[in-house]
Chains A and B, each alone.
Chain A
Amino acid sequence: MHDRLHRPLSTVSAGSSVLLRRIRAGQELETRLAALGFVPGAVLAVCRNSCHGPLVVQVKGSRLMLGRGMAEKIAVE
């Protein structure tokens, strides 16, 4: 469920920064993402996002490549 303020990370265009709100991706993945710095309130800078294929996101000082399916499960504002 996404209200007006929360939208999936996959829709954020390259060059903009957003705040992570919540992740709904199952326990295992959430833990992995959390270890990499994807925690609520973290600033995510989207470096690359074309309409398909993975995204490149900067979080806590490092660049990560993120599958599109995963980016859909991350709500940001």
Chain B
Amino acid sequence: MAFNILLVDDSVTVRAVISKALHLAGVDINLLYQAGNGQEALEILEAEWIDLVLCDISMPIMDGETMVARMVDNGMIRTVPVVIVSSAGSEPRIQRLKDMGVRDYIQKPFTPERIREVVDNVTGVASHA
């Protein structure tokens, strides 16, 4: 199964690194969308079919925590899996986000293997090596 994946991070470097890691991990990608903040991500989520969101926490305009809160409000968090990819992953905050419906957390720096492990767990589909 090929996934439509949305990367949400204000750093073009991080979006490039995650994109590369997804390919190295053998994750089957149909379309890869990118957003620089939570607001842009919500607009893409309203317009496109997304199978998985990989999202940073600290971003200008709208941070990841606010974006997840909006997805709770509109019910999208129940149908679109969100995984946090961040270096600001303090345990209290990660627990708050998981309580809101976030599926998993990837701490930066990460390996392609860690990306694959989480994608497999969240989507329930084993990626191709």
Do these two chains really belong together in a complex? no
User: Which residues of A does B touch, CB under 8 Å?
Assistant: none
User: Which residues of B does A touch, CB under 8 Å?
Assistant: none
